[in-house]
Structure 1
């Protein structure tokens, strides 16, 4: 390009999201898990302390979950079931630490008692909010940005599909 050799890459980082050529989002999942682990490791003394549980949950939501779900409305629909389980497992690890729960307590019970929704529910809420803001905003180029069309799905979802999924799926 303009006399310069352009290096070919199979992965690129764009606005903080790691994208590979297959769009399987594996590099992004690995990156968000690594950054959320680093944050949770640094915050471990605080999350395991005698602070009020509401304070520890707020710290988790601010510092750890924000890293787990950064730009998730754009990439979460492209993740496989195993990748979604890995994200949920990271949340479960931190919630278990916050609650000081033993291994015999189910993750669902811990999350319910702490009042924290699953990663999937949280991302669905973020996605719905993002599309509603875009549709209701003053910029015509963003309105109906990704319309939900009746189309055959070939084993993959699009971000707008997160909004229309039923909660029990």
Structure 2
């Protein structure tokens, strides 16, 4: 915290020199560590003490102090389900919209909520990543293949995914992360190259555990 305070003072002096103003009341502090720390020294910005938070939201991504991204994934799933509820009248079986148009609604309004900034949280726990696939139950609604009193067969989710011709959320997020790291490796900036070097041995990015286009 001593070094952090020194950098904050340097930023304050720079802003004062160029007549820039920092809103200390809107500034949050997050101490990133996986160790159990009970007492963290307070830091100040423009004579205002910053309270250490357990999690903060930055550019739409919820960051927790251990970078587990559990809260972010749960929040995006909840938001996607709310959007699904708002679009329910358009997705019901008795709506005249075609399956193709319903699929476009899902791909343009619901799926981006989950996949947003996936390059950041794709390294979260495997169980958390798999939870994102629960939003794909909307495909049953699109095809009207729920199990009911008039349905003799139970439609497996993999068959439904094949019929709508959509990859899983896990596959999309992993592919986006691999593409991002490939660009980092090919970038001419040494600083950006270090992003690839830090994840070079990660099996999610090297492809050893990459989910294939097959349905989960």
The TM-score range, normalised by the shorter chain, is: 0.7 to 0.9
Please identify, of 123-132 and 136-145, the stretch whose mean Cα deviation from structure 2 is larger: 136-145
What's the offset of the Cα at 1:139? Answer: 4.5
d(CA) in 2 for partners of 1:65, 1:168: 18
Q: Is the 8 A contact 2:182 2:196 kept in 1?
A: no
d(CA) in 1 for partners of 2:211, 2:174: 12
Secondary structure, aligned partner of 2:52: coil
Secondary structure, aligned partner of 1:13: strand
Asked if residue 166 in structure 1 is aligned to residue 216 in structure 2, the reply is: no
Aligned length: 158
Secondary structure, aligned partner of 2:63: strand
Could you report, residue by residue, the CA deviation over 1:103-160 in whole angstroms, capped at 9, with x for unpaired residues?
A: 311111101110111111111121122223333345553235222445xxxxxxxxx5
Give 1:71-110 correspondences, 5 Å limit.
Answer: 71-81=117-127, 83-91=128-136, 93-103=137-147, 104-110=154-160
What's the offset of the Cα at 1:11? Answer: 0.6
d(CA) in 2 for partners of 1:80, 1:10: 22
What's the offset of the Cα at 1:100? Answer: 0.7
Alignment RMSD (CA, Å)? 2.1
Q: Is the 8 A contact 2:174 2:210 kept in 1?
A: no
The higher radius of gyration belongs to 2
> Structure 1: any 5+ residue segments left out of the alignment?
151-159
Secondary structure, aligned partner of 1:97: helix
> Structure 2: any 5+ residue segments left out of the alignment?
1-43, 148-153
Cα 1:121–1:149 shift into 2, 3 Å: closer
Q: Is the 8 A contact 2:114 2:132 kept in 1?
A: yes
d(CA) in 2 for partners of 1:168, 1:72: 15
Asked if residue 67 in structure 1 is aligned to residue 113 in structure 2, the reply is: yes
